[in-house]
Structure 1
Amino acid sequence: MGFFTKDTSGPTTPAPPALGPLSRDRVTAALDSRDMRYGIDDDGDVGGYWDGHLFYFFLMGQHEEYLQVRGRWNRKVGVDQLPAVLEIVNEWNASHLWPKGYVRAEDDVVGVYAEHTVDYEHGVADEQVDLQLACGISTGLQLFEHLDEAYPEQAAAAKAEQEQD
């Protein structure tokens, strides 16, 4: 039998349960089930703060079949540090599966983002939505903690600012 040839002579396997389409309601239901706080902006995007870092949960694609968890590192690092931050994030990308990190200059500071994107063109189970949200947030926070180790003064300043709010 060839690799792509299906063997039809054996016992049949029951069909898997039908998967529903990805939706904002399913994303918010997953967040609600974990008692996570979030908001919905004027564009209808779901977002919230985890450890002081802003995360958004985007539905993308022609049929909103892609779920993207995108977080932004909440530290003020001068644009003069762009090459050093870029090196740290590139090393992360080379040694970790998730999340994809990227760096860009934003006026006078460095912006660092963590992204985790999954394609649900053929549908998704509620457990998968929950899993991918948890994966995107937790691995994004791991990247941000890794950066905090390289920039402890900026991390301390951001945490002190958070405590004042």
Structure 2
Amino acid sequence: MSIDPSSIPNFGGQPDPDPAGNGSSVVIPDQNLVKQLLDQMELKHLVDEEGDLVAPWEEFRTYFMFRGEGEQQVFAVRTFYDRPFSVDDKPQLHEVIDDWNRRTLWPKVYTHTHDDGSVRLIGEAQLLIGLGVGLEHFVSSTVSWVRACIEFDKWVVDTLGLAKDADDVNGGGEGDGGADGSSEGEGPTEG
């Protein structure tokens, strides 16, 4: 998936003009603005039972969340990668995601160990929005974060050899076992 931020239409009429008068708009983003952006990006999305906006893909889900109030309000884009790993995989995962985190700005990725012992990867980027943010900056940041979440999934599949493992499950070549997933499909799944 390649999304060019310049191809996203202007959401004219919504934000207040920049008080500096330089032609840019300052907004305090909300869920409706993010929905409009996702619609423009042609990404399927829904609101979950907790009221958060989510775009589901085949191997991960990306949430668009607003937390805090007033000047401390934060917009977070958090991706939960569904591919399970074991606790024994954690040292290798830490090495791989440390490499990603050193080389990229976002998403910052970390592990989460569930009560059942499975380990999942989570990626996150955040923006302080409580005092307002330039509309163009918000749009380009959100688009970049979504693209980076998709790229991380492809990168981790390639780096850990998971595509080869998925081919083995589908009758491909020999593999060494491991995680059970692939990054088939680039767009969100129906939700």
Q: Which TM-score band (shorter chain)?
A: 0.7 to 0.9
Q: Structure 1 residues 138-147 or 23-32, which shifts more?
A: 138-147
**Identity value in percent:** 21
Higher relative contact order (CA 8 A, sep 6+): 2
- Once the two structures are TM-superposed, the CA of residue 51 in structure 1 deviates from its matched residue by 5.1
Paired residue secondary structure (1:75): strand
CA–CA distance in structure 2, aligned partners of residues 34 and 161 of structure 1: 19
Residue in structure 2 matched with residue 86 of structure 1 by the alignment: 94
- Once the two structures are TM-superposed, the CA of residue 22 in structure 1 deviates from its matched residue by 1.6
- Once the two structures are TM-superposed, the CA of residue 128 in structure 1 deviates from its matched residue by 3.0
Give the paired residue count: 151
Residue in structure 1 matched with residue 60 of structure 2 by the alignment: 53
Normalising to structure 1: TM-score of the pair?
0.78
Q: Does 1:22 align with 2:29?
A: yes
Normalising to structure 2: TM-score of the pair?
0.68
- Flag structure 2 segments of 5+ consecutive residues without an equivalent: 1-19, 167-179
CA–CA distance in structure 1, aligned partners of residues 59 and 89 of structure 2: 21
More helix by share: 1
Q: Does 1:31 align with 2:33?
A: no
For the aligned residues, what is the CA RMSD? 2.7
CA–CA distance in structure 2, aligned partners of residues 122 and 158 of structure 1: 41
- Once the two structures are TM-superposed, the CA of residue 137 in structure 1 deviates from its matched residue by 1.4
Q: Deviations over 1:101-154 (max 9, x none)?
A: 111222222111110111122213443332222111111222222221214168
Q: Deviations over 1:33-66 (max 9, x none)?
A: 2221100012210001235311100111223731
Change over 3 Å in CA distance of 1:160–1:116 after alignment to 2: closer
2:181 to 151, 158, 161: 158
